[in-house]
Structure 1
Amino acid sequence: MSSLVDPRGAPLFADVAGDIEVSFEFFPPKTEKMEETLWESVQTLAPLAPRFVSVTYGAGGSTRERTHNTVARIVRETSIPAAAHLTCVEATRDEIDAVANDYWHAGVRHIVALRGDPPRAGEKYQTHPGGYENAADLVAGLRKLHPFEISVAAYPECHPDSAHKAADLDNLKRKIDAGATRAITQFFFTPECFFRFRDEAAAAGIHAELVPGIMPVMNYASVVRMSAMCGTEVPDWMGRLFEGLDDHPAARQLVAATVAAELCRKLYAGGERAFHFYTLNRAELSYAICHLLGVRPAVPALETAA
């Protein structure tokens, strides 16, 4: 008999009471069709009463504008707290401060403060002349501007640019000590990865909230590519589960929802009560996972203004 399964145990997810908080991440749309898809996703997930939704941000004026417009629309047309991503990439302190001030005046009270990735793939990150040096520096700068709620990034398997795990934890502690409210983790695929990181962070004197970041697998090959870029280990068993499903998108979604929900269930059993979902602007998987975890609609669906 397998030691992993108790045939007399409670049914799967029967022990998950729905007493969790969820948040969702989106990216700014580039086309009208993508805008429509994004807004449909926001409408679908809004009834779950997320603690916040965040919108990513890239270098360059057009991307910044799209992020601002998306966040401002969420603030304007919904009751969901909106968090805007802000990075240090290719901008001076004055330019970044101006963006932050614009967010504040638009009603945004939550910033996800990140160093950001190099604007061109393969390049080594360099601080922009006159810019914020890193995420900890950015957090400190934001604290001087307005009383933002500030989330930062954490890396259970170590950031690729960090020399080692201890250096990565030191960097996270600097961000928290600079005034960050919480840290949201990079996605990972085993509960042991998060629990080990949680223990290491506590031992390093980091006592802020650590929110597990959950990436439902919409496309296995894409997840493998993203994982390689950010240093996330993809277990061999995931490849076996998704093998043969490339031409069966509905079946792939069922498997993806089950895998991610089981990860959350184990994290829940380990004491976690908040999850941040990387939606890739698609609501179905995140909604299904939340449903399995006992999260039910708490507010009516959004009605888009005429």
Structure 2
Amino acid sequence: MSKSSETRPLGVALAGFGTVGSGLGRLLVENADIIRRRTGRDVAVRAVLVRDAHKAREVPLPPGAVLTTDPARLVNDPGIDVLVELMGGIDAARGIISAALEHGKHVVTANKALLAEDGLALFRLARRKRRILRYEASVAGAIPVVQALKESLVGNRIESLMGILNGTSNYILSEMTSSGVEFGEALRQAQELGFAEADPTLDIDGHDAAHKLVLLIRLAWGVDYPYAALAVRGIRGMAALDIRFAREFGYRIKLIGQARLAADGAGAPGDAPLRLEAGVFPALVHHTFLLA
């Protein structure tokens, strides 16, 4: 790489400027000095893709960024090195990520649904084009777990994964436990506080956690676990009475995502086909256990 390409600003395009996209744009501006000191390079947001260019926005565009409704504006611009996809959804996001990789751009995405349901083709495309496809923010971004599984634990044999993978459901169950309210009231509070979407289906029916679990399985065991084959049950319909009965016996109810090697799938690679047991489900967790 030439010195000029190393020192010029890294050109970034944001596909989506909603809550997450605008937050990222704001942080790139506010933390520009920190980023420059740590990386030795500036980051310049050159374009922002939105559905409606006339919509009023609370967060201003980063300086120098062009607002556009045309995905080709991001894909074809030679000054853009990295596409950050924060649109959500499947079809449109798949299209722009594929086009960006085909045009030699690196990609960062938080789209857990796309990667869980149709990510294998995108990972193969990125590998073929020798481009980077990163997705740390798609699964437990604040922990973080993706890079830990990809790098720090790459030499370890993972036997099981278990965790609370959805914050909305966890808030609802925690509120039902601490305040004794019914499910509907806890959900309403979560929506008022901004923890739950207006349509909370993906969260309370377990699908958000399931998308994340599929990605973690791919990292931990190197297999593509079909999302459609995953057993998924959410917390819709959970009653305060269920919570009280669990407490009487020293348990808490949590929505758990879990994957583990099956008893007959514990051999070393090559000894036997890898078999996994995986699912998302409400579970009784003893009050002394960390997840409680």
TM-score (norm 1): 0.33
Q: Which has the higher contact order (CA 8 A, sep 6+)?
A: 1
Considering only CA atoms, is the larger Rg found in Structure 1 or Structure 2? 2
Query: Relative to total residues, which structure has the larger strand share, 1 or 2?
Result: 2
TM-score (norm 2): 0.34
